[in-house]
Amino acid sequence: QVQLVESGGGLVQAGGSLRLSCAASGRTFSSYAMGWFRQAPGKEREGVACISSGHGDTYYADSVKGRFTISRDKAKNTVYLQMNRLKPEDTAVYYCAANFNPRELTDRRPIVDWWGQGTQVTVSS
Q: How do residues 81-124 score in pLDDT, each as one tens digit? A: 999 999 999 999 999 999 999 999 989 889 999 999 999 999 99
Task: Give 43's pLDDT tier (boundaries 50, 70, 90).
Answer: very high
Task: Give 68's pLDDT tier (boundaries 50, 70, 90).
Answer: very high
Which positions ≥6 away from 26 have C-beta within 8 Å? 1, 2, 3
CA distance to 15, 18, 116, per residue, from 35 (Å)? 23, 16, 11
Q: How many other C-beta atoms can be found within 10 angstroms of the C-beta atom of residue 90?
A: 22
**Residue 32 has what pLDDT?**
92
For residues 90 and 75, the answer to whether their CB atoms sit within 8 Å is no
**Residue 30 has what pLDDT?**
84
For the chain, the average pLDDT equals: 95
**Residue 90 has what pLDDT?**
98
